[in-house]
Amino acid sequence: MSASRIIAIANQKGGVGKTTTSINLAACLAELGKRVLVVDMDPQANATTGLGVDPKHVDRSVYHVLLKNESINNITEATAVANLLIAPSSLNLASAEIELFNVFRREQRLASALEEVSSEYDFIFIDCPPTLGLLTINAFSAAKEVMLPIQCEYFALEGVAQLTHAMSEIKIHLNPELDISLVILVMYDARANLSNQVENEVRKMFKGLVSEHVVPRSVKLAEAPSQGLPITLWSPSSRGALAYKRIAREIAATSTQEVALETMETDNHE
């Protein structure tokens, strides 16, 4: 069984639809029959609550994986979506950065934990906090790729340069495989000139890396997390749901192409 695609969903700027993207891409891929795990690395635990798990009632969380050597398999929780599991965050994850400071290989604790379960999933999404501290460094050390949601608003690219610089440093020192694989334009308003301007700017900056599909600004997308459900269950025919389904199919098709290429390369070596 091949290893999973381990994807960090990151943006240093808060409120850009990062967790919304993590939850809904994961759910859409699970509905396509993929085995998917979401790892909630954000102490705010929004991905955890957004998938129907109350972090106050979690006995073991990502905190225990990072600091107590707990197996990922021992902390995962089922969600309302078949094939989709969540490795939950909890309140004590807020202290993890301080507690990790003197831990051996502190930047690679998550990478070691995910290596043990990688073959059990097709996709592992890591929902990163909106900071560049040790939790995000752990996510970038574990991931093979980064997906970057960018909102179609003023200051959309604020902090992106700092994020890409941090990725470059991690690529040099910790994880040479790390690259941005996809940029996703979110909160798009087709009626606003600003959205079109931001889209053009982002497509120029990240040439060839921006999804052809955009995620519209949507009340239903904003409502879904409060119900503990992804948009595919809360409002499956809404514009937001359809957008994430299209992007998920785009990602799944890329994986299929990569598997076919790997098979061809293996055959050629035999």
Q: Render pLDDT for 105-154 as a digit per residue (tens, 0 to 9).
A: 999 999 999 999 999 999 999 999 998 899 999 999 999 999 999 999 88
Check pLDDT > 60 for residue 34. yes
Note every long-range contact of 2-5, with CB atoms under 8 Å and residues 24 or more positions apart, other chains counting: 2/119, 2/259, 2/262, 3/118, 3/119, 4/35, 4/37, 4/118, 4/119, 4/120, 4/121, 4/122, 4/123, 4/124, 5/122, 5/123, 5/124, 5/144, 5/145, 5/255
How long, in residues, is the chain?
Answer: 270
Of all residues in the chain, the percent with pLDDT exceeding 90 is 82
What's the pLDDT score for residue 263?
A: 43
What's the pLDDT score for residue 164?
A: 93
Superfamily of segment(s) 5-269? P-loop containing nucleotide triphosphate hydrolases (3.40.50.300)
38-84 pLDDT per residue, tens: 999 999 999 999 999 999 999 999 999 999 999 999 999 999 999 99
For the chain, give the mean pLDDT: 92
165-220 pLDDT per residue, tens: 999 999 999 999 999 999 999 999 988 899 999 999 999 999 999 999 999 999 99
What Cα–Cα distance (Å) separates residue 2 from each residue in 5, 120, 122, 203? Answer: 9, 9, 8, 32
